[in-house]
Structure 1
Amino acid sequence: MITSAMFLKRVRQLWQSSELALVSQRRERRMRLLASLLMLVLGAAWGCFFALRGAWGIVLMDAALILCGLGVFVLTLRGESRRANLLLFGTLIVIIVATTLVLDVPSVAAPRATHLYLLPLAVAALMAFRDERLWLRYGVASLCLLLFTGLAASNWAPVSGYGLPDEVRIIGSWLQGVAAVAMMFMLLHILQTDAAERSELDSDLRSALREEQFALHYQPQLDSNGQVVGAEVLIRWQHPQRGLVSPAEFIGRAEKTGLIIPIGRWVLRQTCAQLRAWQDHPACRDLRLAVNISQNQLRQSSFVPEVLAMIEEYGIDARCLELELTETLIVQDVDDLTRKMAKLVERGVSFSLDDFGTGFSSLSHLKRLPLSTLKIDRSFICDLPADSSSETIVRTVIALGQSMGMTVIAEGVETEAQHRFLVDHGCTQFQGYLFSKPLPLPAFMTFIGNTVQARGAVA
């Protein structure tokens, strides 16, 4: 259905042009970057303040704040959002509690106020960990609330001599109270906005299914002789207001809501219909169409009967239908997966392992599963032939596939140098922008015709 290579490329383009519809991810990224910069600034400012007063214990805490701010900044830039969130929230909880206990010691004139930041931090945790397991999402938020309650009800301080004077803390209490409340309202507004956007997206997706607003594009797969041997089927959404929408904008949400199941069923049905239409076309009758299967689809007990029913309904040659699995999917329940694959392989359907090398599959999985194709992930192809590590990995995958009798496809091929390296080391099939981007059906048919003419001219 879709490849990570196409996802990443399109997402980068949408980000640069400010068209990206995944607003919550963009907001979270910006909030993490802002939080990391605030940690750097506050850590440096307070570090200088207490260094001048010889409070080296507090200076060490400020140094830790600076280092954690740098860590969050780097992890966010690298796209490791989960690790960045864990580091960010862990650091902020420790710093807020330590600051409240050490610097914000309550008195008759000025009560504690620093602990108020734990309230917006609890709301922020619900946003940052919304896609994580419930125990993590609500665990962090609950911890913030428990600490807030404990600090609000206690006057205990572990050490003395570091508390700020009352005249400073009286002003600070008002400022911190206003700041905490403002942060709370801002985060609640973002939560409400995100919920509205997700609800609208869900409604639009259901309308898209009813009104068949989806369309299929085809990215050609070529052999070492330049002949088109198949294509990967990629879904696009022809939105009535927004135009052509990339799968990066809706597949993730469809996975979470379960809409990926009827969407995936629609893609399979359209693929079978297209294979049936090509049976009388000399240049296309032997083409193989590859469809990416989601984890939610394959978990359905009705998946195998539905695929077999479509093959029977359209009367297609099942050998022309290839189902693509990901490494994440094949480590979930290998026994159930093997049984389902075996039933479909018996009827002629083939299976490929997409993005090989980026997940957690083992050689034992490859041995047990009836796979016919390995796809080398573009992350290994993009650095060829300059990067020695990528060269070693690609050569190993090619040799592994050949030794197990599998076809090896390299995806994300964009330069002649990459293509030449792959050919020289035994890779037999290729997919990428060097040959063609994903094409709507008329353009794909034209591409096939041009390829046939070019090969005829060479011959």
Structure 2
Amino acid sequence: MSVLSTFFQHLLQLWQARDLALIGQRRERRMRLLASLVMIVMGVFWACVFSLRGAWSIVLMDVLLIACGLGVLLLTLRNYARQANLLLFGTVIVIIVGMTLLLDPPNAVAPRATHLYLLPVAVAALMAFRDEPMWLRYGAALLCLLLFTGLASSTWAPTYAYSLPDDVRVVGSWVQGIAAMAMLFTLLHILQSDAAERSALDSDLRAALREEQFVLYYQAQLNSHDQVTGAEVLIRWQHPQRGLIPPGEFIAHAEKTGLIIPIGQWVLAQTCAQLQAWKVDPRYGNLGLAVNISQKQLRRPEFVSGVLTLIGSYGIDAQHLELELTETLIVQDMDDLIRKMTALVDQGVRFSLDDFGTGFSSLSHLKRLPLSTLKIDRSFICDLPSDANSTAIVRTVIALGHSLGMNVIAEGVETEAQRQFLASNGCQAYQGYLFSKPVPLAAFMAYVKQRNG
């Protein structure tokens, strides 16, 4: 019951979501949840029907359908989108082909119709695998079209033992034809609408760059003495119609379109300008600012020279600038990454590894990179100190960071119990809502004045 309760809670949340940048992702997630429920219900229904007829081989297929439906449900709830899509589409294709060959063999009275569902499934595959490699996206759609062509051009069936009566199939051919075409039209409409939404978002982002609609927020980072030592710089979009938009709603799209490069350059420039403004003020002159760097930014040949140019132009101390990398970024091209990082570290720039423990970096990668800070991901902090696995992981990360000569900072600290656990295990730097949420510049400066005196 708990799984079904969680399912309906997630379904309700998804129906309530209306943010433009995430609508495609949420729609796909909702479709997977609904599809998983349909698979479970249909599997139970047909298992009962064919068990009464003694067709146990078909019952076994229905049991597999139920198991696949539960698998898609659980994978979707755990946010494993690719695995859920692969299981869902693999199961649906096998079911359609199996039903076409076993239950719907064509004859002179009733034509074959079940295979028509392969057409909307092909379009759905283009939508579901949109962000996957081209061979997967178009390969899944092409497989559906090839199977459709083969079944439409052939009258072969392995057996007629399970075929439905002709009077049922005659009516069914009309019903299935209409249903398949309705599904195809609906999916094509969604695909077109999604493309229009993405185009509108792209246009809005370009306007935001031209009109400087982006603003920076600062989340304080504190040491063991409750003194503010710096902040993580976080971008927000002050949309003229939709108000303040968090980065999760537009950064992913900016990554895909390449707009993340000028956006990232703007953030770096604004950060350097702020460090310059604080340079002459003793209350803020020693603060450091951390900026997230995207994969596309770091891959650019001129990345190093661009950062150094900004540092020189604004005349700031490079040690006050920290560039945050993610684990998924550091496994791309280690040699190029190390070369660029070393060139900047030699000039005083610091690097931190963000969300440590959630990606695929190995200890050998960690050893080779000139990192100064290791950030413990908030997903490990939120369960402290009650969860035994989280406490073991956090203790290990703290010890690992210190043994490699790095500072260790915990993200997402929200309770005093979490802070006390971290402090007792050697973590002396914190960031989270217990201290301050991300705030505009004026509020951050007031917070520093309050904390640091």
Q: TM-score, normalised by structure 1?
A: 0.95
Asked if 1:409 corresponds to 2:409, the answer is: yes
Q: Is contact 2:409–2:430 with CA below 8 Å preserved after alignment?
A: yes
CA distance in 1 between counterparts of 2:399 and 2:13 reads 34
CA distance in 2 between counterparts of 1:89 and 1:237 reads 36
Report the counterpart of residue 425 of structure 1 in structure 2.
425
Where 2:408 maps in the other structure, the secondary structure is strand
After superposition, give the CA deviation of every residue in 1:4-27 in whole Å (9 maximum; x if it has no partner): xxxxxxxx9998665464111111
Distance 1:14 1:70, change over 3 A: closer
Task: Map residues 237-248 of structure 1 onto 2, 5 A cutoff.
Answer: 237-248=237-248
Q: CA deviation at 1:151?
A: 0.5
Where 2:273 maps in the other structure, the secondary structure is helix
Where 2:47 maps in the other structure, the secondary structure is helix
Q: CA deviation at 1:279?
A: 0.5
What is the aligned residue count?
442
Q: Is contact 1:411–1:432 with CA below 8 Å preserved after alignment?
A: yes
Distance 1:21 1:259, change over 3 A: closer
Where 2:156 maps in the other structure, the secondary structure is coil
CA distance in 2 between counterparts of 1:16 and 1:294 reads 30
After superposition, give the CA deviation of every residue in 1:44-93 in whole Å (9 maximum; x if it has no partner): 11111111111111111111111111111111111111111000000000
5+ residue gaps in structure 1? Answer: 1-11, 454-459
CA distance in 2 between counterparts of 1:17 and 1:177 reads 33
2:204 partner amino acid: D
Q: Is contact 2:230–2:289 with CA below 8 Å preserved after alignment?
A: yes
Task: Map residues 116-135 of structure 1 onto 2, 5 A cutoff.
Answer: 116-135=116-135
CA distance in 1 between counterparts of 2:20 and 2:133 reads 26
Q: Is contact 2:21–2:253 with CA below 8 Å preserved after alignment?
A: no
Report the counterpart of residue 189 of structure 1 in structure 2.
189
Report the counterpart of residue 310 of structure 1 in structure 2.
310
Asked if 1:100 corresponds to 2:100, the answer is: yes
Distance 1:14 1:215, change over 3 A: farther
Distance 1:14 1:137, change over 3 A: closer
CA distance in 1 between counterparts of 2:398 and 2:22 reads 36
CA distance in 2 between counterparts of 1:107 and 1:423 reads 76
CA distance in 1 between counterparts of 2:80 and 2:167 reads 43
Task: Map residues 206-217 of structure 1 onto 2, 5 A cutoff.
Answer: 206-217=206-217
CA distance in 2 between counterparts of 1:358 and 1:28 reads 24
Report the counterpart of residue 328 of structure 2 in structure 1.
328
CA distance in 1 between counterparts of 2:16 and 2:119 reads 34
Task: Map residues 38-117 of structure 1 onto 2, 5 A cutoff.
Answer: 38-117=38-117
1:286 partner amino acid: N
1:139 partner amino acid: G
CA distance in 1 between counterparts of 2:400 and 2:37 reads 46
Report the counterpart of residue 218 of structure 1 in structure 2.
218
Q: Is contact 2:220–2:438 with CA below 8 Å preserved after alignment?
A: yes
Task: Map residues 169-180 of structure 1 onto 2, 5 A cutoff.
Answer: 169-180=169-180
Where 2:283 maps in the other structure, the secondary structure is coil
After superposition, give the CA deviation of every residue in 1:213-253 in whole Å (9 maximum; x if it has no partner): 00000000000000000100000000011110111110000
Report the counterpart of residue 456 of structure 1 in structure 2.
none
Q: Is contact 2:411–2:430 with CA below 8 Å preserved after alignment?
A: yes
2:172 partner amino acid: G
Report the counterpart of residue 259 of structure 1 in structure 2.
259
Q: Is contact 1:14–1:20 with CA below 8 Å preserved after alignment?
A: no
Q: Is contact 2:75–2:84 with CA below 8 Å preserved after alignment?
A: yes
Report the counterpart of residue 28 of structure 2 in structure 1.
28
Q: Is contact 2:32–2:73 with CA below 8 Å preserved after alignment?
A: yes
Q: Percent identity?
A: 72
Taking CA–CA contacts closer than 8 Å with sequence separation of 6 or more, which of the two structures ends up with the larger relative contact order?
1
1:351 partner amino acid: F
Report the counterpart of residue 234 of structure 1 in structure 2.
234
Q: Is contact 2:213–2:238 with CA below 8 Å preserved after alignment?
A: yes
Distance 1:43 1:17, change over 3 A: closer
Where 1:443 maps in the other structure, the secondary structure is helix
Asked if 1:276 corresponds to 2:288, the answer is: no
Asked if 1:397 corresponds to 2:394, the answer is: no
CA distance in 2 between counterparts of 1:40 and 1:31 reads 14
5+ residue gaps in structure 2? Answer: 1-11
Q: CA deviation at 1:160?
A: 2.5
CA distance in 1 between counterparts of 2:107 and 2:334 reads 62
